[in-house]
Chain A
Amino acid sequence: MTSIAGADRPALRGDGSADGARDTDPSSGSAADTQRAHSRSVELQIRRQDAPDAAPYWQRFRIATRPGDNVVSVLRALRADPITADGERVDPVAFEHNCMEEVCGACAMLIDGSPRPACSALLKDLGAVIRLEPLPKFPVVRDLMVDRARLFAALKRTRAWVRLDGHWDNHERAPRISQRQWAADYLYSRCMSCGICLAACPQFPDAAGRPADDSAGFVGPAALGQVRLLNAHPLGRYDKAERLHAIMADGGLTDCGNAQNCVRVCPKEIPLTTAIGELGRQTTVQAVKDFFGV
């Protein structure tokens, strides 16, 4: 039985009673009984916004849940029958989701005030009232949907990519990396560009009133983690000095305030503050090299 089917699960009306028959699996009555016994309804308090420049407002919804539900599956169910707790039929709540296994980063939002991926926020770990807000620091497109272009602007600013094509020989043989270095580098490759570290970073500026290309202000921990990764990459290291110069400019590494929220909230447990320390070391060496013209 799928846990994310929504159409068969109506929203509860204002009086709290389910309107319409619940889906039951005729082949296993006991399982359905168990499911019903475990089901409960939750109240979703959702911060809504109709358009990028529109004023935000709050709406409350009551919805029946199933065992194994997460915030995305409940939002999908709500989308099928978007009726508020006051009984008003409203536009469906806009939100993004994709992989449902915490590897794509699309569903990051504020859940009860904490930035986290909605797909891995299980309802059994949340209370009876769940507050959902769009991820801070990013421009709201609509409701819980934000525009993450800033994150990619930061990756571009820091040259966080590998140049594969060129007129040079990249390497003669397969690149050799020690097992130890591979294990350390792998941690940074898990970044899924969800933007949660940026939401929690006190130094990463709010989106409001910023230039479209986001050319100033702190680049944020996500891009710094990728600089750390690519500076160690067998091909990426050819551009190490350029990347270091990029993060030594305005809004670069030195804008980090060492609050270290990033490493605490990162759902992929990427050692972002270790990256920041290692880049601190690399930029210190680079500054000495620049000074003496090495």
Chain B
Amino acid sequence: MSSSISNRHFLLRRLHSLLGVVPVGAFLAFHLWENSQSRFGAAHFNEEVVGALAGLNYLPFIEIGLIALPLAFHAFYGLAIIRDGRAEPMRYGYLRNWLYWMQRLSGIGLVVFILLHVGMTRIAGLLDPAIHADLFGHMRSALSNSLVFDLYLIGLWLAVAHFANGLATAAISWGLTTSAAAQARFGWFCLGLGLLLGVIGTHGLLGYLSAPVGTGA
């Protein structure tokens, strides 16, 4: 009868799609917005940005339930999905086929980057209270290393590209956009959104380095 409810395949695939947009994609946008305030310096960042978030009630539940678990499901179910596909970007050089390929490559890259990124910040902050107390200084010294900065810049743009393309294809998968014209229109919208988020994120990365030194820490 209602095989779509009793068969978990459809539900798991749609859950993977949904979680990629909300909460993971939404968190990405929020995260980049928060970090874009790095240019206001250590005092502002450590108190108004990190401090305000660290003071939230039920923070562990939010971090684990709304960010970590959905992200982990999206990442590992995504890796399982990648096994089914075989992209031939050279034989079929169409834009969407390249994006199909890029979505998978960026997904693998992001698993590595996010593990490194969370380890360097959130986990390091848990282990070392000094890092947690001055996350701005920690990030500033880390990003001063050009290797780390490049890694973050690549990770950032992989993330926004993965999110923007994922949003465009999720709209097709859920049936929001059906006609080729609607899919193209929404694709351009997602491209704009991705570029905007990428610029905000890049601004945030540069802000750690360009913020005035004397404002704290």
Q: Which residues of A contact B (CB under 8 A)?
A: 113-114, 200, 202-203, 205-206, 217-218, 244-245, 248-250, 252-261, 263-265, 271, 273-274, 276-284, 286-287, 290-291, 293
Contact = CB atoms under 8 A, between A and B. Distances in A.
Nearest to B87: A202
Contacts of B2: 245, 290-291, 293
Contacts of A258: 96, 100, 169, 172-173
B89 to A, nearest CB: 9
Specify the main secondary structure of chain B where it touches its partner: helix
Contacts of B81: 257
A287 B175 contact: no
Contacts of A274: 178-180
Contacts of A293: 2
A284 B174 contact: yes
Nearest to A259: B100
B92 interface: yes
Given A245-B3, A277-B179, A260 B97 contact: yes
Contacts of B92: 200, 259, 261, 264-265
A248 B9 contact: yes
Interface residues of B, number: 36
B5 A273 contact: no
A274 B181 CA distance: 10
13 contacts: A113-B91, A200-B92, A250-B9, A252-B10, A258-B169, A259-B99, A264-B94, A273-B172, A273-B180, A277-B175, A277-B182, A284-B14, A290-B3
B175 A261 contact: no
Contacts of B9: 248-250, 252, 254
Contact of A277 (B7, B84, B172): B172
Nearest to B95: A260
Contacts of A260: 94, 96-97, 100
Contact of B4 (A114, A245, A263, A264): A245
B172 A280 contact: yes
A266 B2 CA distance: 33
Specify the main secondary structure of chain A where it touches its partner: helix
Interface in B25-75: none
Contacts of A113: 91
B129 interface: no
A86 B56 CA distance: 80
Contact of A202 (B5, B11, B86, B174): B86
A281 B174 contact: yes
In the A-B complex, the 10 residue pairs with the closest CB atoms: A281-B175, A254-B13, A280-B175, A277-B178, A259-B100, A290-B2, A260-B96, A248-B10, A258-B169, A248-B4
Interface string B150-182: 000000000000000000010011111111101
B214 interface: no
Contacts of B91: 113-114
Contacts of A282: 175
A205 B94 contact: no
A218 B13 CA distance: 13
Nearest to A244: B4
Contacts of A290: 2-5
A228 B3 CA distance: 19
Nearest to A228: B178
Given A202-B87, A259-B99, A291-B2, 15 more contacts: A200-B92, A217-B84, A248-B4, A250-B9, A254-B173, A257-B100, A259-B97, A260-B96, A261-B97, A264-B92, A277-B172, A280-B173, A281-B174, A282-B175, A293-B2
A258 B5 CA distance: 24
A181 to B, nearest CB: 14
B167 to A, nearest CB: 12
B73 to A, nearest CB: 15
Contact of B3 (A202, A205, A249, A291): A249
Nearest to B5: A290
